[in-house]
Structure 1
Amino acid sequence: MSSPRPPFRVGIIGTGGIAHAHADALNALSPRVEIAGVVDLDRARAEAFADRFGVDRVFADAGDLFANEELDLVHVCTPPQTHASLAIQAMRAGVPSLVEKPTALTLGEVDELEAVHAETGVPVLTVFQHRFGAAARHLGALVDGGELGRPLVATCETLWYRADEYFDVPWRGRWDVEGGGPTMGHGIHQFDLLFAIFGRWSQVSAFAARQLRPTDTEDVSMALVRFENDALATVVNSLVSPHETSRLRFDFEFASVEVRHLYGYTSEDWTFTPAPGHEHLATRWAEGLDSGGISGHRDQIAAILDAFEAGEAPGVGLAEARRTLEFAAATYASAFRGVAIAAGELSGADPFVRSMSGGIVPWAPVKEVLA
């Protein structure tokens, strides 16, 4: 009888708000995993974080962490403009990384990540935790098995509210350090799950606007999407919606499946409606649905550890993350150029490969508006 493997050792880079969700998830998975050390430029904040989550070691920078700890995984929980450089540093140290969304600020940065991955073989994973909730996994299995028929129509809405004060944090609402507005930083979780269920998108036609918020980026975007399998979808991302909701509805040939939640769903947040003549599918849905908990970082981290133990590729890897990020870039390109954008069209020296804004944001800079 083989003895159990020692705990997975992980590090956390960045100890701001989102890092608390990571640490809570990791501690919930104890003793399977342990936090070996944390990094933050703000020493006091790092020490307070370490005290709260029972971590023994605090480091001033990522290089010190990699030099002094044997790690199985590092969590990158820093502002978006640092994600790519830290993931590259982790790859060169031989440590897989789990990077908060977005993986990188631009498609060009993702291409750099893919080049280093090809050189080192070390994975870079992105936090897209909604893929890993019990209901989403069950739905994916039904779709993969062809039980629901063809995917036909979907609606993807991330209607949230953020007051002006939310953007007092220096890196929020700026193209150069956050990459974009709700399309990049908020709705990306929802439409990533849309693509995980409906498949590859092939074309997008979009609008984006800055309606209210004091940002350089959009605070609303809307897109019409065609998929390679000829399904159609609408995708709406907003930070100006007082009645907040996150909603995904999938209409298949034999059933409609819908989830309504805000920042994370439970299995009870999903509804299943069979088409006439396919009532047996309601039983199939209910029988295979694990009640589970709220979708969150814990589910994805557990799946990553399972993959490590099985010697399999964990999700969500760079190829899939790039397709999701490419959709964000295509949404901006379509909105600002006023044309439909096909998958794969943004490449090479295209300005939207180098920046999500493409350098052609139609509204005036905030400083001019507020002057």
Structure 2
Amino acid sequence: MKTELHTDWTVGDIAAGFVFDPNEGRGLFGMDGRLVIQPEYQRNYLYGDGKRDVAVVDSLLKGYPLGLMYFVRTPDGRFEVLDGQQRITSFARFVSGSNPFAVDVDGRPRYMDSLDPDMRARLLATPLTVYVCSGTPQEIQAWFRTVNIVGVPLNAQELRNAAYAGPFTSAARAVLSNPSSALAQRWGTYVAGSVKRQAVLQAALEWVSGGDPDGYMAAHRSDPDAQGLIGGFEAIIGWAGATVPQTDAPLVRGLDWGDLYRRYHTRPYSPAEVGATVARLVADPQVTDRHGIVPYVLGGCTDTRLLHVRVFDAKTRQTVYAQQTARAREEGVSNCPLCALGSGPNHTRVWTLAEMDADHVTAWSHGGATDPSNCQMLCRTHNQAKGNR
């Protein structure tokens, strides 16, 4: 890959003809249409938070260097931003007045048109340091990953977007990475993370592909659209909403709905019964992992490990052990009640505390509480054999 250094371009040159799409929240073009600011392998614009965008302009006004930027020269003689998209979009928004914001100057908020004329002129004339790169698409994408190791790190899905850039990725991002979408709030009920940071796109890929987003993107890279992905994602979310009545978003957000859909979508459920069971478990103080409630209910309420049911504390274990052991010594039998019932070699064995586990006399799933009155100490062999019966 070849590189060419440019120090003659200024803030005004780059911001000339700047176009910002408020619906997608991103900069489109600069340099009077000759610069593509957010090519398809780029992440979404993240600096529009009233802090980082302001810091970029504040640095320029104070004469601080903005750092190296990298452009790619395209076959038609135009340029694409390889590194610097966040900074360029920030200062171009300010300079052009497109989706503008104010910066503090001498204790007062100032927009571009309210800056002193000489300050405005100095800002526009600020030179930038830009390397223009030329190379194959593979070289460009590899370099993109290399230069994006500082600042806000690229996450896994942002790296995939760069690696599998093409019409499919562009189409998928246009829908699933759009924070202005009317569906964004609905997606946020089930997906944890930021739409801008590709959380929804990543969830869709993982759910629809069965956990192989890279393989799915590679297989569909040249597809002209992403309707299969979007349709599959919507089908999963539609099933989730119809099966589990909306009670509390944290209960359903961040679950692997793709896996739950594949395992259970052919089962018949009564949404009313599912909702009632979920509500009962939410109110149960013995359940310590609320995030496991929905998978537990959809799975038929059999795997209590998903709930991390509250265990007996050390004080309770020690107290019950002492009581059982004292009775066992008086009766000349094992301090494990199940060993004492048998006639084998452990019928009279007194186990140490370390050799025993605390067990619910009446299982939690059958209504038993996690308190001293429902606790018994069993040798580990019998406790493991008893399970949740």
**TM-score interval for Structure 1 and Structure 2 normalised by the shorter chain:** under 0.3
What is the TM-score normalised by the length of structure 2? 0.22
Q: Which structure has more helix as a fraction of its residues? A: 2
What is the TM-score normalised by the length of structure 1? 0.23
Give 1 or 2 for the bigger CA radius of gyration: 2
Q: Which structure has more strand as a fraction of its residues? A: 1
